[in-house]
Amino acid sequence: MKLLTIHDVGDVRLDEVERGEPGPKDVVVRMKACGICGSDLSYIKMGGIPMAGTKTALGHEASGEVIEVGSEVSGHAVGQRVVINGMFVGSGGMEGAFTPELVLKDAEAMGKLLPIPEGVPYDVAALCEPLAVSMHGVNRANVKPGDKVVVFGCGPIGLGMVLWLVDRGVTDVVAIDLAPERRERAMALGARAALDPTSCDLRDELAKLHGEVPSYGRVGVGTDAWIDAAGAPSILSDVIMMAKFQCRMVITAAYMKPIEFPVGRMLTSEMTITTAVGYPTEMPEVLAAMPRLQGKLASLISHRMPFDEVLDGLKVAATPQSAKVMIEFAN
């Protein structure tokens, strides 16, 4: 069978591999759907994890059906529909979900598999991982209904953040992205406004939408929380210069290089800057919300492609027109 594997910098292949036999604690999952993630594209650029030249299997946003369980597995049964916890698969090592059948080692440890709620299709279920990343970013922003929020970046993670914010009653969300297709998606998910920072004065626009708040002799815009799911080097400085007293900023984007920012200006805003990564607790909550939000969630999928076209799918996922590229398995 095939397995999508990174060999070196920019060198990713559909390798022919032998499927192993499951041990007593293992579970075999027949893949049904697996999303392509921005981090997959980063890993390919890096040439492998942890370093270039380390063979690395890809695929960490997957759903499938259990087809075999080891003799010591009690919590899973053949026929069960499951989501794979992407913390353990496709982010280093040779277990990756871009393959027809995955042997998941020690499957019951640490919640590696989670059951899909009744009625939720496999493609929507496979969105669980990126949606959990989005939810964790929102959780780290400590927002409440009525707060004013800015989300930088309307790729799948930023869009998921807009979705969760609106779902929690935080409806004054301004989304920011360069691509018109992405801004449209943010609006469809309930953002109040979606701005292109290259064609407007962001501070002026945010002052109009979120108001202005004076503190210590200067005036910040009224945004309560800023979430960076874009990673452009100017964002942090721009936010610091606009920030109101005691606002909060969450960085979820991956910055590859160090950046400079005006610490002196932060003194009078007493703003908090923090980070969010992964989804330590969010997956069960995301799954539980899926039956209720199914229609909205499906709108995050912009492209569906069969597994044998996954290499083309990687190219599509790199374009700003795409949201989530979902790879579907025929079996």
Smaller CB distance to Zn ion: residue 132 or 242? 132
Token pair belonging to 127? 């969105």
Smallest gap, in angstroms, from Cβ of residue 244 to Zn ion?
32
Smallest gap, in angstroms, from Cβ of residue 111 to Zn ion?
17
Q: Which helix (H) or strand (E) holds 292?
A: helix 283-298
Smallest gap, in angstroms, from Cβ of residue 259 to Zn ion?
24
Query: Stretches 2-10, 33-41, 112-120, 166-174: which one binds Zn ion (CB under 5 A)?
Result: 33-41
- Helix (H/G/I), strand (E/B), else coil: 325: strand
Smallest gap, in angstroms, from Cβ of residue 156 to Zn ion?
8
Query: Stretches 29-37, 74-82, 187-195, 251-259: which one binds Zn ion (CB under 5 A)?
Result: 29-37
Smaller CB distance to Zn ion: residue 151 or 170? 151
Phi-psi region of 231 (alpha: psi -120 to 50; beta: other; left: phi over 0): left
Q: Which helix (H) or strand (E) holds 259?
A: none
Query: Stretches 34-42, 232-240, 246-254, 261-269: which one binds Zn ion (CB under 5 A)?
Result: 34-42
- C-alpha separations of 24 from 20, 29, 209 in Å: 13, 15, 58
Smallest gap, in angstroms, from Cβ of residue 61 to Zn ion?
5
Which residue in the set 12, 31, 36, 37 belongs to the binding site for Zn ion (CB under 5 A)? 37
Smaller CB distance to Zn ion: residue 126 or 271? 126
| CA–CA gap between residue 35 and residue 62 (Å, rounded) | 7
Smallest gap, in angstroms, from Cβ of residue 320 to Zn ion?
18
- When asked if residue 104 is in the footprint of Zn ion (CB under 5 A), the reply is no
Residue of closest CB approach to Zn ion: 37
Smaller CB distance to Zn ion: residue 62 or 174? 62
- For β-strands 148-152 and 225-228, DSSP reports them as parallel
Long-range pairs for 215-221: beta carbons < 8 A, 24 or more residues apart: 215/244, 215/245, 215/268, 215/269, 216/245, 216/268, 217/268, 218/268, 220/244, 220/245, 220/247, 220/269
Smaller CB distance to Zn ion: residue 128 or 242? 128
Query: Contact, 139 vs 148, CB < 8 A?
Result: no
Smaller CB distance to Zn ion: residue 44 or 73? 44
Instruction: Please compute Rg for the chain using Cα positions.
Output: 21
- Sequential DSSP letters for 92-139: SSS--SSSSEEEETTTTGGG-EEEPPTT--HHHHTTHHHHHHHHHHHH
Smallest gap, in angstroms, from Cβ of residue 150 to Zn ion?
23
Position 302, amino acid: S
Smaller CB distance to Zn ion: residue 39 or 269? 39
The count of chain residues that interact with Zn ion, using the rule CB under 5 A, is 1
Q: What residue ranges bind Zn ion (CB under 5 A)?
A: 37
